[in-house]
Amino acid sequence: MKKNLILTGMMGVGKSTVGKKLSIKLNMEFIDTDKVVEINESMSISEIFKQKGEAHFRGIEKNVCMTILKKKNCVIALGGGAFINSVVREMALNRCVCFWLDIETKLLSKRLLGTKKRPLINSLNLEKSLTAVYEKRKDLYGLADFKIDCNKSSAPLITKKIAKIYETRPN
Ligand code: S3P
């Protein structure tokens, strides 16, 4: 049975796009933790933040991740903040192969321009708020098994790189 493959990193870096491609390439199931949270709560992530607050969201996110991480043969795209939770992170590091998709916040801010789906981000000062989140998180993202530079690579190329590392890594 294959170890789960985890994708972590900032919102908008492409975890879901790359994750879907990887799941096809590696013949594994794809799971996006944000989607599971939304289905369980019958609400969008933005609505959960607005109506119940971030602390409530983080609680649900943690429970969802702990259930999903126990599954087998999955490519899992974690919500951008999930790996920051020490319980989720340790479980992911112990059971799965974790990849940090890293990208400069300048590039990210161009991609996320106009988004209404990311409640943590202040759209009036996009680059600054993304940089603040990135600076707080980068050391913890850095605990992932592999860091993938996504600045100059397309999703197919990133997928290829990750699949190669995953398939050839020593167990
Ligand atoms: C968050 C990232 C989002 C979502 C929520 C919080 C974060 O997921 O979980 O808005 O804290 O970085 P994506 O990384 O899939 O956008």
Domain boundaries, the chain: 4-166
Using CB distances shorter than 6 Å, the residues near ligand 1 are 11, 15, 34, 45, 79-81, 118-120
Average pLDDT over residues 37-50: 96
Q: Which of 76, 88, 120 to mutate to test the pocket of ligand 1 (most atoms within 8 A of CB)?
A: 120
| CATH number for the domain whose boundaries are 4-166 | 3.40.50.300
Say if residues 18 and 162 touch (Cβ distance below 8 Å): yes
Phi, psi of 143 (to 5 degrees): -80, -10
Of 113 and 61, more confident: 61
What pTM did the predictor assign? 0.96
143-159: per-residue pLDDT in tens? 999 999 999 999 999 99
pLDDT of residue 117: 79
Which residue CA neighbors atom 10 of ligand 1 most closely?
Answer: 118
Q: What is the pLDDT confidence band of residue 115, given thresholds at 50, 70 and 90?
A: confident
